[in-house]
Amino acid sequence: MSTFVIEFQPSGRTVTVEQGTTVIRAARRAGLHINASCGGTGVCGKCRVLLESGTVDGGISEKFSPEEIDRGIRQACTARINTDVCVRILDGAGLKKGQLGTEVPEHHRASKHTFDIDSLREAGLFTPPVEKFFLELPRPNAGDHRSDATRLIQAMQEQYGERHIQIGLNVLRTLRRTIREDDFRITATLARPVNREARARLTQVQPGNWTNRNFGLAVDIGTTTIYGQLIDKNSGKILAEGGCYNRQISYGEDVISRMIHAEKGDGLVRMHELVTDSINEIIDRLLKKQKVDRDEISSITMAGNTAMTHLLLELEPHNIRRAPYVPVSSFYPPIRATDIDLALGDQAIALIYPAVSSYVGGDIMAGVMGSGMYRTDKITLFIDIGTNAEIVIGNRDWLASAACSAGPAFEGGGILHGMRAAAGAIEDFSIDQETLEPMSMTIDAKPAKGICGSGLLIMIGELFEAGVLDQRGRFNRNCDNERIRPGRSGWEYVLVRAEESGTGQDIVLTEVDIDNFIRAKGAIHAGIQTLLAEVGLNVHDLEQVILAGGFGSYIDLDSAITVGLLPEMDTDKMIYVGNGSLMGSRMSELSNHIRRDVVAAMQRMTGFELSEVPSYRDHYVASLFLPHTDASLFPATEKRRRERMGHL
Amino acid sequence: MSTFVIEFQPSGRTVTVEQGTTVIRAARRAGLHINASCGGTGVCGKCRVLLESGTVDGGISEKFSPEEIDRGIRQACTARINTDVCVRILDGAGLKKGQLGTEVPEHHRASKHTFDIDSLREAGLFTPPVEKFFLELPRPNAGDHRSDATRLIQAMQEQYGERHIQIGLNVLRTLRRTIREDDFRITATLARPVNREARARLTQVQPGNWTNRNFGLAVDIGTTTIYGQLIDKNSGKILAEGGCYNRQISYGEDVISRMIHAEKGDGLVRMHELVTDSINEIIDRLLKKQKVDRDEISSITMAGNTAMTHLLLELEPHNIRRAPYVPVSSFYPPIRATDIDLALGDQAIALIYPAVSSYVGGDIMAGVMGSGMYRTDKITLFIDIGTNAEIVIGNRDWLASAACSAGPAFEGGGILHGMRAAAGAIEDFSIDQETLEPMSMTIDAKPAKGICGSGLLIMIGELFEAGVLDQRGRFNRNCDNERIRPGRSGWEYVLVRAEESGTGQDIVLTEVDIDNFIRAKGAIHAGIQTLLAEVGLNVHDLEQVILAGGFGSYIDLDSAITVGLLPEMDTDKMIYVGNGSLMGSRMSELSNHIRRDVVAAMQRMTGFELSEVPSYRDHYVASLFLPHTDASLFPATEKRRRERMGHL
């Protein structure tokens, strides 16, 4: 895709953007504020700019006179960049000239850390748990009466150095026929044990050479969504991927209501069926897309939280949700995929990520493995933020974990105009330091309907840094601005006025919303601090942060630090791994070492139940401030805020 | 039971016998001949004796006059001993006085070697492959969130030192409920791996203490009969045992016809069903008898020949019977008993004895293990005689095996009046050196219908030693005796005349019969010699003989040596182990070491295919004589024969 350079006046700042980027997004990228109270949807007409050179597509509003259009006046939110261009930000409503192009914090999303097959290969870790081998067996004759099975096992040793092989009854039953079908030329599928001393199992024998057809599946079993990847085990490549809703959702969106259902009558069987139906739907889609046969899938690795894993395996989840929160099992044996009703062949082995505890599940363990945290020297904070935030701190030598009950604020829950990250959700925000006019941008530039989690984070960070919110999350009562007013739920800031919104109502951020947000971020930050304290460290010892989960990809790191969600540190040391559960599952499909290492990692892992750690409560209370009671934990934030507030 | 002393005149020889023994059997025991041509059924009236002191029950014949009865004349075959008694053998038809009480070889049955649990225990080998453990688990609490499974595994380690334990999905699915049913008091069933380094598997968890209920099954899968034993794994005792016909017999008595059937349509499935139905019948009977529940059987060990094992496991037997005779597999993985349709609980593990080759099967391997041959220092000949005779030679350091196709002569096949060892079969025989009058005895003293294998062996040995047969198995044409005559199939010896037989026809032994017998024994002896030669030994190096199988228990060792079936050696060094297959299976149920050792023994075992060893043919031809072309191999036999023939 072509890129173009856009220059903004009067600041003279330039930024390179992709073709089709709107001028307002380009300004945001450049760290410049343009008033846009409607969410960037072309309604409010406040984001007027003057085209000084070059041309843009669109940006014409009926609010403009023909002369204005002639002069080059455009709406920044609907004008798309197609050439190099120079644009002047105009004084909008209530803006003083000196404030044009006020600098706003540039977004620091965590850099995406992708799964690196080559480094896996270089490190000698590319040893799929299930591999295919082509063999030309010596034919039996008068001097060689070895059984078919012995012949095969010895050939595996002689030709590939593979020892200690056991053959299951299923394979033995067709072995005679299979090895003779293509004149003793066969492909043998070998499932390696986790324990080096244990026997490997031959799970499939095919006539002829099929070594180029060795596929696996990686599946993340989320409470809401199930994602799957079809993997070529020879190349390590993802051939197809996709997701679908977890059909259990019909029994409730949250894990607890599903566990309650599983305790009733045949509820457990039903929950098991629903999740396997969902997985089978994805398997079906992925296989069809790539014309891969069910018999060509040699293994499937799955990871999910502890409750999801229990429901998948039909293990009774009763004690997961009751103190003292004990799962049936945290390790799960390798099983035949058909034993848990997955629509795969008899040969397919199902591997399931172990859980640390009832609330730190296999999805987190998969993230720890997939992200490489388990083998880094750096003291690392791994965090997956959702309704529950799971935190792991440690490195190759030790690991400590806990789950924090953050509540649904990050998913828009408990926020008056909160919503999921869908079209019309305000996802980006800045404020003019003097006029307090917002620049709001919505997902898909649709009329604003509400605020999503990432938007909320940026918004609260921006309002706090601009001095509109105090440390306790209260609006500055001294602000004489019509956007800040007492509302039904206490004081509020008007983000989008009714006439410009997608709901016909004012969209506001209330002090109650902010309070809920602070509790959520406070729970997480307190969790981080508690874990650190338990292992005798503090936030300054952290050398790296790994963000996992959907929310992690959208998070603005500076805002997350400003509000005290994440500890203050160089954002370059924060990486984002996306769906850690899926990443770890895929890695297990490609590296048997991981399966061994996960056992070792589990042994190094100490799981903490925060409610049982006395200091947690203190850390929590101290975290119910922006960014924290102890400002010394956030020196840079404090400094920046003071400087910015100096503008007032 | 009471015993009495019987003295025979005129020889003055005495013998101690159990109450109720017939006088003729007592004479045989004493090594004395009494004419009895009807088989000892009270018909011919030739076995007249005079009671000189004491009394007997019965022995009265209508052929006797009242005076004779008064004098104390009795029939030896129907007179039973109830007191100490003195009996004079009378001159029967054609017998000269000097020959009365001619010495005949005393029978040397092999001494029975029984399975010794105490020595197993003393040797530290008493470690059942599946054991039960009682555990009181610590209850979960605020400081102990271990999963149910981890709690259990760690308790096994702490309380019993058992490590590396894996729990299968079946057990996990009920674990939560089970461990709480009796307040965390449970019985765990642990299946040990063969490989020390591998994981043990927890196959069952029961609430409360059930360690006193740990049972196993040992099963010998014979072509004709299936035998089973119910074993108390704690004491090692056999609680019940029994056998039934292998239902496959409806598709043919021999293994080959069943393999042929298994190759057609769903024949293999049918053969599998028939044998599992038979096993299930025995299981059902044994469990009912002892009021043991199916869920209390933790393992079942089975042994059978290679074809039987293939049919049991539904492995295609096609190449077992086709050169170069290759089975599908010689090792069989441990499997769930339900996977092969045995009517046991999910917890039951089925262990199957490995085979050496297509014709030396798991039954033989079980015998080698069960008899202790695999751990003896003595160079041992293990032999199981049937239609096929399987031979193993070796000791703790090395083993060599082969199967000899002996044909059915030992089971009465190919013998004009041959029959199975059933009522009316002549099973014992001696001949008067001068008159050539026989002493024949039938099973159950029923009128003679034919000759069973053990009778045939004794008969040919006796006729040969008496000089009635020459080294080539031909009748001495110089014998002027009405019992030796040309018949339809060449010369023959009349054992029982039509009027005294159970068939209304003369029962004879023909030269063709003898020829068939010589081929059978020759095949076996040649097998022994070939194996010995292949390992650089000869018969004098043998230090021990172990006889297994049904035929072994009835065999007269001296006759077996005389005819050249077994090598000449001290009969005290020959032991009989009965059903070696069942014995080995039982041992595996009680000692996991055996399961490890059998793998090692298999590695030390060289299987020979006799048809491919060039010297076998020469040995065979040399063995087609009584006892052998090379008389130096049987010096004592030769000496005894010469001495006896000196009587003529």
> Between vectors from CA B72 to CA B67 and to CA B76, what angle results, nearest 5°?
120
DSSP labels for B439-493? Answer: EEEEGGGPPP-EE-HHHHHHHHHHHHHTTSB-TTS-B-TT---TTEEEETTEEEE
Reduced to 3 states (helix: H, G, I; strand: E, B; else coil), residue B645 is helix
Confidence of residue B107 (pLDDT cuts 50, 70, 90): low
Reduced to 3 states (helix: H, G, I; strand: E, B; else coil), residue B523 is helix
> From the centroid of its chain, how far is CA B23?
29
Question: CB atoms < 10 A from the CB of A603, how many?
Answer: 8
Q: Which of residues 299-318 of A touch B (CB under 8 A)?
A: 313-316, 318
Q: What are phi and psi of B450, to 5 degrees?
A: 175, -160
Q: How near does any CA of chain A get to the CA of B358, in Å?
A: 8
Instruction: Give the model's pLDDT for residue B28.
Output: 84
Cβ contacts of A172 on chain B, cutoff 8 Å:
313, 315, 328-329, 332
pTM of the model: 0.86
Instruction: Give the model's pLDDT for residue B387.
Output: 74
Question: CB atoms < 10 A from the CB of B105, how many?
Answer: 17
Cβ atoms of A240 and A286 closer than 8 Å: yes
Judged by a CB distance cut-off of 8 A, whether residue A76 touches chain B is: no
Cβ contacts of B167 on chain A, cutoff 8 Å:
329, 333
Residue of chain B whose alpha carbon sits nearest to that of A310: B173
Instruction: Give the model's pLDDT for residue B96.
Output: 38
Q: How near does any CA of chain B get to the CA of A565, in Å?
A: 28
Q: How near does any CA of chain A get to the CA of B251, in Å?
A: 22
pLDDT digits (tens, 9 = 90+) for A44-59: 888 889 999 988 999 9
Contacts of B642 (CB under 8 A, 6+ apart): none
Q: Which of residues 346-385 of B touch A (CB under 8 A)?
A: 355, 357-358
Between CA A191 and CA A213 the distance in angstroms is 15
If 0-12 CB within 10 Å is exposed, 13-18 middle and 19+ buried, where does residue A163 land? exposed
Which of A141, A144, A145, A338 would you mutate first to test chain B, the one with the most B CBs within 10 A? A145
Q: Is the pLDDT of residue B330 over 60?
A: yes
Q: What is the spatial order of strands in the sheet that B574-578 belongs to?
A: B111-112, B574-578, B544-548, B380-384, B388-394, B399-405, B605-607
Give the pairing type, strands A574-578 and A111-112.
parallel
**Cβ contact (<8 Å) for A149 and B331?**
yes
Domains and CATH numbers, chain B: 3-103 (3.10.20.30), 129-207 (3.10.20.880), 217-359 (3.30.420.480), 369-406+531-645 (no CATH)
Confidence of residue B37 (pLDDT cuts 50, 70, 90): confident
Q: How far is CA B282 from CA B215, B242, B347, B508, B582, in A?
A: 15, 7, 19, 40, 14
Tokens 């927890």 belong to residue: B202
Give the pairing type, strands B544-548 and B380-384.
parallel
What ipTM is given for this predicted complex? 0.88
**Cβ contact (<8 Å) for A326 and B145?**
yes
**Cβ contact (<8 Å) for B149 and A329?**
yes
> From the centroid of its chain, how far is CA B495?
28
Q: Is the pLDDT of residue B48 over 80?
A: yes
Q: How near does any CA of chain B get to the CA of A145, in Å?
A: 5
**Cβ contact (<8 Å) for B173 and A198?**
no
Instruction: Give the model's pLDDT for residue B546.
Output: 95
Cβ contacts of A177 on chain B, cutoff 8 Å:
316
Of B464, B638, B458, B412, the closest CA to residue B556 belongs to B458
> Between vectors from CA B578 to CA B331 and to CA B397, what angle results, nearest 5°?
50
Contacts of B124 (CB under 8 A, 6+ apart): none
Cis peptide before B324 (omega within 30 of 0): yes
pLDDT digits (tens, 9 = 90+) for A128-157: 899 999 999 999 999 899 999 999 999 999
Q: Is the pLDDT of residue A260 over 80?
A: yes
Between CA B311 and CA B299 the distance in angstroms is 20
Which of B137, B165, B169 would you mutate first to test chain A, the one with the most A CBs within 10 A? B169
Between CA B537 and CA B530 the distance in angstroms is 10
Residue of chain B whose alpha carbon sits nearest to that of A164: B195
- Amino acid found at B190: L
Residue of chain A whose alpha carbon sits nearest to that of B320: A147
Which of B154, B313, B329, B401 would you mutate first to test chain A, the one with the most A CBs within 10 A? B329
Q: Which of residues 140-199 of A touch B (CB under 8 A)?
A: 140-151, 164, 166-169, 172-173, 175-177, 195, 197-199
Which among A147, A173, A329 is the nearest to B147, CB-wise?
Answer: A329
Question: What average pLDDT score do residues A234-253 get?
Answer: 94
Question: What average pLDDT score do residues A165-181 get?
Answer: 95
DSSP labels for B186-217? Answer: EEEEEEPPSSTTSPEEEEEEEES--TT--EEE
Q: How near does any CA of chain B get to the CA of A214, in Å?
A: 25
Q: How far is CA A139 from CA A174, A190, B611, in A?
A: 17, 22, 19
Judged by a CB distance cut-off of 8 A, whether residue A118 touches chain B is: no
What value does the mean pLDDT of chain B take? 91
- Tokens coding B292: 């043991």
Confidence of residue A104 (pLDDT cuts 50, 70, 90): low
Which among A164, A172, A607 is the nearest to B329, CB-wise?
Answer: A172
Higher pLDDT residue, B196 or A415? A415
Cβ contacts of B143 on chain A, cutoff 8 Å:
612
Of B486, B555, B511, B449, the closest CA to residue B38 belongs to B449
Question: What average pLDDT score do residues B144-171 get?
Answer: 95
**Cβ contact (<8 Å) for A329 and B167?**
yes
**Cβ contact (<8 Å) for B140 and A199?**
no
Instruction: Give the model's pLDDT for residue A95.
Output: 39
Confidence of residue A105 (pLDDT cuts 50, 70, 90): low
Cβ contacts of B151 on chain A, cutoff 8 Å:
326
End-to-end CA distance of chain A: 42
Which among A197, A199, A357 is the nearest to B145, CB-wise?
Answer: A357
Q: Is the pLDDT of residue A623 over 90?
A: yes
Question: What average pLDDT score do residues A13-28 get?
Answer: 89
**Cβ contact (<8 Å) for B149 and A328?**
yes
pLDDT digits (tens, 9 = 90+) for A459-517: 999 999 989 999 999 999 888 899 999 998 889 999 999 998 999 999 999 999 999 99
Judged by a CB distance cut-off of 8 A, whether residue B264 touches chain A is: no
**Cβ contact (<8 Å) for B328 and A175?**
yes
**Cβ contact (<8 Å) for A145 and B324?**
yes
**Cβ contact (<8 Å) for B169 and A333?**
yes
Q: What is the CA radius of gyration of chain B?
A: 29
Question: What average pLDDT score do residues B128-155 get?
Answer: 95
Q: Which of residues 577-616 of A touch B (CB under 8 A)?
A: 607, 609, 612
pLDDT digits (tens, 9 = 90+) for B338-380: 999 999 999 999 999 999 999 999 999 999 999 999 999 999 9
What value does the mean pLDDT of chain A take? 91
Q: How far is CA B274 from CA A368, A467, B246, B428, in A?
A: 53, 87, 7, 37
